[in-house]
Structure 1
Amino acid sequence: MTATLDIDLVRTFHAVARIGKFNAAAQLLHKSPAAVSVHIQRLEAVAGGRLFNRDNQAVSLTTLGKRLLLATTELLRTHDRVLADLQGTRLAGRITLGVPDEYADHVIRDILPTFASAWPNVVLELKTAPSYALRDLVQRDKLQAAVVTQPKGEPDAQAQVLVSTTPVWVGPAQTAIASMEPLPLAVHAAQCPYRQAMIESLRQRGRKTRIVLESPSNQAVKACVEAGLAISLIDRARVTPSMRILDDLPAIADHEVVFVRSQASYADEAVDLLGRALQQHFRL
């Protein structure tokens, strides 16, 4: 019998590949870790080899896994777009969505066009701001939904986890800046979880610091680091060639990117579908 690709297996594979951990992918997919393992085993049987290298900390793609990820990314998007077309072109409404600027490019370019094509009668209105400001707007019903960053494991039963992030300390690629006293910092706006993690961890280490840049803009923080003016904390996936990771500074616990929504939006089918689209396609 000719082998076929089960779209549910492909979706599980993408979740594990994106997050890098079986247990976290299981939580994202609302499946048991055992079910996720079975899905990967069944897909490996079809693919003809191992898709992941595994250790106690995380998993990484094999060469075959990388090929499959590349080959099935558009397949998964097309499947979801066709299904959306068949199920609900009559859906209409308006969604106000907040996104931090560090994730805005990905959301705007890679996720929202497909969503807008599938649901042409749903009007999208976007706002960019730091996570803490977006969360406040959602809680006050000024936004229907938002993508925000928070410490991993923060109690929020209604938040949909999109992806786990690993914050790392970074400095300029060519300058030994981490030994300076006081340590120059580029920090995000007040109440940003990364800023709070930076200040607290260095305070516990007894390091003296000075703030070179304070900005709600992730791009400004990155530019300050790349210019050799300061160090900062960013997602590991967003380290640029002009930066280097500083391993001798305090380790920072993983964070999460989550989808949160206002109480009033829980009866809104369009917001349900947007949350599902973000959960399926969000990546770092």
Structure 2
Amino acid sequence: MRIPVPLNALRAFEATARHLSIKEAAMELSVTPSAVSHQLRILEELFGVVLLRRTGTRLELTDAGHKLTPYLQQGFTQIAKGVDSLRQKRRDGPLRLNMLPTFATNWLSPRLSLYPFERRGFSLEISTTQDEVDLAAGVADVGIWYGNGHWPELQADLLFEATIDLYARPGFATGSHRDRLDRVSQANLFVSRHCLTWQRWMESLPGGPFKPAVVTQVDSGGLTLQAAADGVGVSIAVCELADSAVRLGRLTSVFEHPVNADVGFWLVYPDALREDRRLENLRSWLCEQSA
């Protein structure tokens, strides 16, 4: 239903009618008294009636003002109840956490058995996307993002800095350093579009630079790791994400040459959630695991 008058004018009148004071209404609405007076004039001009009358130092409602007031109070009360119920649901409900699929599969999943889901304030809803979602739009509450820590209007806490290295299936590249360099130089190199420093790794390799026969760029770091584990090629990947596959014997570092990626994984959230207990619970656990 369309309201044919400005909502701000109605709010100004409702607050003034409740306090019978323009000054106190202005304090409640966090505006100046002149701004409240301006909104009241707009409302009276639109209705063509006088809603408030000053008698000496006192402000009184006219008959028209008395008639309008209870409807506005009921309406704003219902709006406040609706907003509060939604806020309460978000405060008490699961924390919605978004991240890259590669991070979820290769870093978070191996540690989830240690997460205290059963404890109050620790429940999660986990979603994965290849690109960062709009936290301000409410798509998710917080994110674990890969980058330099600078996202406009968002807070970011560093979980860990990333390093990159070259990985292959165990036994794929063996022998001396030169033998391994010759072998992988004939391979298909898989790199993720999120890995922006992979060429620096090749240039810094002792005995290099490493020049692959083919470079295949994909949108998922998980695919690069899978391709290397399947023996399709080799992969420059984030060491911290490859670690679980290395420990399981599915991957091995070809040269043991980790290089700082100049980026990291960050816990990212709106400032409004800074004091949220659910966020603090998640942050403490993530920091423990990162350490």
The TM-score, its normalising length taken from structure 2, stands at 0.49
Q: Is the 8 A contact 1:146 1:259 kept in 2?
A: yes
Change (3 A) 1:227 1:123: closer
| RMSD after superposition | 3.5
* 2:266 aligns with one of 254, 258, 279: 258
Q: Is the 8 A contact 1:161 1:257 kept in 2?
A: yes
- Structure 1 stretches of 4+ with a deviation exceeding 6 A read none
Post-superposition shift, 1:104? 3.1
Partner of 1:75: none
CA distance in 2: counterparts of 1:254 and 1:228, whole angstroms: 28
CA distance in 2: counterparts of 1:217 and 1:198, whole angstroms: 12
**Helix, strand or coil: the match of 1:149?**
strand
Partner of 1:172: 169
Alignment of 1:236-247 (within 5 A): 237-238=243-244, 239-240=246-247, 241-247=249-255
Alignment of 1:5-16 (within 5 A): none
Partner of 1:214: 218
Partner of 2:229: 226
* 2:157 aligns with one of 149, 153, 160: 160
**Helix, strand or coil: the match of 1:229?**
coil
Post-superposition shift, 1:201? 4.1
Change (3 A) 1:178 1:249: farther
In structure 1, give the amino acid aligned to 2:119.
A
Question: Structure 1: which 5+ runs fail to align?
Answer: 1-90
**Helix, strand or coil: the match of 1:228?**
coil
Q: Does 1:104 align with 2:108?
A: yes
**Helix, strand or coil: the match of 2:190?**
strand
In structure 2, give the amino acid aligned to 1:207.
K
**Helix, strand or coil: the match of 1:119?**
coil
CA distance in 2: counterparts of 1:215 and 1:231, whole angstroms: 16
Spell out, residue by residue over 1:43-88, the C-alpha distance to the aligned partner (whole angstroms, 9 max, x if none).
xxxxxxxxxxxxxxxxxxxxxxxxxxxxxxxxxxxxxxxxxxxxxx
In structure 2, give the amino acid aligned to 1:229.
V
Q: Is the 8 A contact 1:95 1:271 kept in 2?
A: yes
Change (3 A) 1:234 1:123: closer
Post-superposition shift, 1:127? 0.3
CA distance in 2: counterparts of 1:229 and 1:178, whole angstroms: 17
Q: Does 1:269 align with 2:277?
A: yes
**Identical-pair percentage:** 13
Change (3 A) 1:110 1:148: farther
Change (3 A) 1:223 1:264: same
Question: Structure 2: which 5+ runs fail to align?
Answer: 1-90, 174-179
In structure 2, give the amino acid aligned to 1:148.
W
Partner of 2:92: 92
Partner of 1:282: 289
Spell out, residue by residue over 1:131-185, the C-alpha distance to the aligned partner (whole angstroms, 9 max, x if none).
xx23x4336542111223335xx55793222234432211222123643446512
Post-superposition shift, 1:225? 0.8
Change (3 A) 1:252 1:178: farther
Partner of 1:196: 196
Between Structure 1 and Structure 2, whose CA radius of gyration is higher?
2
Post-superposition shift, 1:93? 3.2
Alignment of 1:53-68 (within 5 A): none
Q: Is the 8 A contact 2:163 2:258 kept in 1?
A: no
